[in-house]
Structure 1
Amino acid sequence: MGDRHTWAAAPSAAERARSVLAAAWSCAVTAEGGREELVGAHTVGADGRVLLHVPEDSTLVTAAICAPRGEPSAVLEFADVAPVPVRSRIRARLWLAGWFAPEEGHLAFQPSRAVLREASGAVVVDLGDLSAARPDPLAMAEAKLLTHLADAHPDAVERLTRLVGPDSLHGAVRVQPLAVDRHGLTLRIERARGNGDVRLPFHAPADDVAQLTERMHVLLAQASAAACPRSLQRQRTDGDR
């Protein structure tokens, strides 16, 4: 049933990067004064700049004040961590290279280069596209949505595997929801050796949680009409013995 969907819409690299910036709770900053791990200390301005809210005694503030031109270079690193416990929980990393300058109450970081690395590889994100992009509308609710799906509705997750091609499920020992965005749901298929991801696209984008609920109901209805994968049937039978 892996060919049920004829399209596989997904966020652009700039949108994914912007969602990482919005949802990440921490970031690592490497600058001339060393490396600092910041937690809950960054926001993103409307112009795409990253605003760092750090203590006055931070080495970053010292570096900004002491820099010859007042704009020390730095690299910011953000990690996108799956909210559901799975193998290889880091779904993506985003690096921003650039410089920062002190402004009232914060340090303003101006990126000059952005690189997004995901399972499929690394891509350089156009800065214009990054500045114009907006976070996925589900980005801030994703963690709660996925943990609820995994913890309260494991039966629904299993039913959704009926939409996955049998080749992708071969040797599967566990399936968990890995990610969701306005375009679709991604499942992590863990095998005895290694794991893989399968994307189940929605029939139309979901711009809020209410629309996501409807999109999920459509997927589950399609799954209910599909045959149960033989590999999972065998595993369930063997486990009942």
Structure 2
Amino acid sequence: MPSAAERTRTLVQSTCSAVLLAPGLRTAGWDGLVTSTRNVGPEGDLFLELPTASPVVRAAAHAGDDELVAVLEITDVAPVSVPHRVRARARVSGWLTIVPGLSGPGRTTLRLETGEAYVDDLWGAEAVEPDAFRDAVPDPLAGHETELLQHLHAAHRERLGALCSLLGGRTSRRCAAHRPSVVPLALDRFGLRVRVCEDRDRCFDARFEFPEPVRDVVELRHAMRTLFEAAAR
């Protein structure tokens, strides 16, 4: 399975929504707190771009050389329609400073020196040490996951439904009797997770591991073909 550090790093560098908060900061809305870009430097620091008029940018400018504590809060929502769509929440906290000269007009880049991180997702809840976060590598499929899951959901529903045959005795009776919907929920280099739903109140998750981790979309296609062929036997 992916480590907590890898999962957190993947969330930070993905397209899911994130807001930057500073304790005691007063704001009338969320617009000025949403980061437009997020990058991780070689030391594990986060480089976050926000509007120059953002209250958190003004707070960082006012703090000057003093340490301004801030928290990046991330929420990851499944890109397909499924009950309980929030897949993960993560936060990275540390100290905020302004980095001049990296953004265009009306934008400012802030550096968040990582102090601690935490992830609560489909795998569970774990704390992440700064060194582990720095050394982690985001999942190679993260940039393609949304498109791939939406394609599976739109074009391969019958094949997804056939995966019930691989779930064993724990779920075979339910699958055979009710033909539940099988929705692709998450995808990473280690495997595919689906949500099996009989109705909105009766769902469970199942995960199908690939024989070996995939490194790119080409290897993923082969792994998915092997999985669907196994379900069709």
Question: How far is 1:39 from its partner?
Answer: 4.7
Q: What do residues 116-145 of structure 1 show as CA deviations (whole Å, max 9, x unaligned)?
A: 012454210122111111110001100000
- Aligned match of 2:11: 20
Give the distance between the partners of 1:164 and 1:45, measured in 2 at CA: 42
Return 5+ residue gaps in structure 2 as ranges.
Answer: 103-108
**SS of the residue 2:187 aligns to:** strand
Counterpart of 2:25 in structure 1 is: 33
Q: Distance in 2 between matches of 1:172 and 1:96?
A: 41
- Bigger drift between 88-97 and 33-42 goes to 33-42
Q: Name the SS for the 1:140 alignment partner.
A: coil
Quote the offset at 1:209 in angstroms: 0.3
- Superposed displacement of residue 33, structure 1: 2.5
Aligned counterpart in structure 2 of residue 167 of structure 1, from 154, 170, 186:
170
What residue number does 1:182 align with? 189
**Structure 1 residue 65 corresponds to structure 2 residue 61:** yes
Instruction: Give every structure 1 segment of 4 or more consecutive aligned residues whose post-TM-superposition deviation is greater than 3 Å.
Output: 34-37
Cα distance in 2, alignment partners of residues 150 and 221 from structure 1: 18
How far did 1:75 drift? 1.1
Contact 1:172 1:190 in 2 (8 A): no
Deviation digits for residues 201-222 of structure 1 (CA, Å, limit 9, x no counterpart): 0011110000000001111111
- Which letter maps to 2:210? F
Q: Does the 8 Å CA contact 1:22/1:140 hold for their aligned counterparts?
A: no
Q: Which letter maps to 2:191?
A: G
Quick one: which amino acid aligns to residue 212 of structure 1? L
Aligned-residue offset at 1:173: 3.1
2:34 is paired with a residue whose SS is: strand
Q: Partner letter of residue 33 of structure 1?
A: L
2-structure distance, mates of 1:68, 1:143 = 39
Q: Structure 1: state its 5+ residue gaps.
A: 1-9, 226-241
2:159 corresponds to: 156
Q: Which moved more, 1:59-68 or 1:30-39?
A: 30-39
Query: How far has the Cα of 1:165 moved from its partner?
Result: 2.4
From 84, 88, 98, the equivalent of 1:88 is 84
Q: Which AA in structure 1 matches 2:97?
A: A
The amino acid across from 2:197 in the alignment is E
Structure 2 counterparts to residues 3-18 of structure 1, below 5 A: 10-18=1-9
Write the distance in 1 (CA, Å) between the matches of 2:35 and 2:83.
24
1:65 Cα offset (Å)? 1.9
TM-score, scaled relative to structure 1: 0.83
- Give the secondary-structure state (helix, strand or coil) at the position aligned to 1:54: strand
Shift of 1:47: 2.7
- Greater mean alpha carbon deviation, residues 92-101 or residues 119-128: 119-128
What residue identity is the alignment partner of 1:58? S
- Superposition TM-score, scaled by structure 2 size: 0.86
RMSD: 1.8
Q: Deviations over 1:137-196 (max 9, x none)?
A: 001100000100110111111122211124236266321010111110101112332322
Aligned ranges for residues 223-234 of structure 1 at < 5 Å?
223-225=231-233
Q: Structure 2 CA distance, aligned partners of 1:102 and 1:172?
A: 55
What letter corresponds to residue 17 of structure 1 in structure 2?
A: T
Question: Is residue 27–residue 79 contact of structure 1 (8 Å, CA) maintained in 2?
Answer: yes
